[in-house]
Amino acid sequence: MKKMILLFSHNLSHEQKEDAKLNWSVEEFISLPKELQTIWSNVPADLEDIKEYLEPIKQFLIQNIDKNDIVLVQGDFGATFKIASFVKFMGSSVVYATTKRNVVEKEIDGKSVKTSVFEHIRFRKY
C-alpha cells in the first residue's frame, strides 16, 4: 500500500487528497504524531544548526517509510531542504504542493479588503 507521509503544518484539502490518490497512487496518508508535529511546526529560529533538532523526524521516517512511498515536505526552509535531501537519499519520492493564488477584492464599510484564496494545482517533485 503506497503511503504519503505528511511533513506539513496544515491539513490536506480534499483536492490535495484526490490528487495524491489519482496521480500518485496514494492509498494512505500518514500524519506525524503530535509531538513530532510540534517539532516540525516550530523550528527554533535561534538555533545555528538544526541537525540534532530534526533527528526525531529522521528516525520517524526511517521507521515508517517504504521505498515506494511519497513524503510531502513543506515548512521551515532549512528543515525542508535537509529532510527533502534525506528522503531522496533514502530512495523515496519527496514532493511539495503547488497552488494558484486568487485575489478577491471586496468593499466593506467603505474600505477595500483583499483576500487571497489558494487553490491546489498539483504536487511537484523536489
Mean pLDDT of 44-73: 96
- Tens-digit pLDDT profile for residues 72-126: 999 999 999 999 999 999 999 999 999 888 888 888 888 888 887 888 999 999 9
Looking at the 3D structure of the chain, how many domains does it have?
1
Q: List the grid coordinates of 98.
A: 503547488
Domain of residue 88: give its range. 3-125
Predicted model pTM = 0.84
Say if CB 9 and CB 75 are below 8 A apart: yes
Say if CB 67 and CB 42 are below 8 A apart: no
- Tens-digit pLDDT profile for residues 23-42: 999 999 999 999 999 999 99
Q: Which residues contact 61 (CB under 8 A, 6 or more apart)?
A: 5, 71, 83, 86, 87, 90
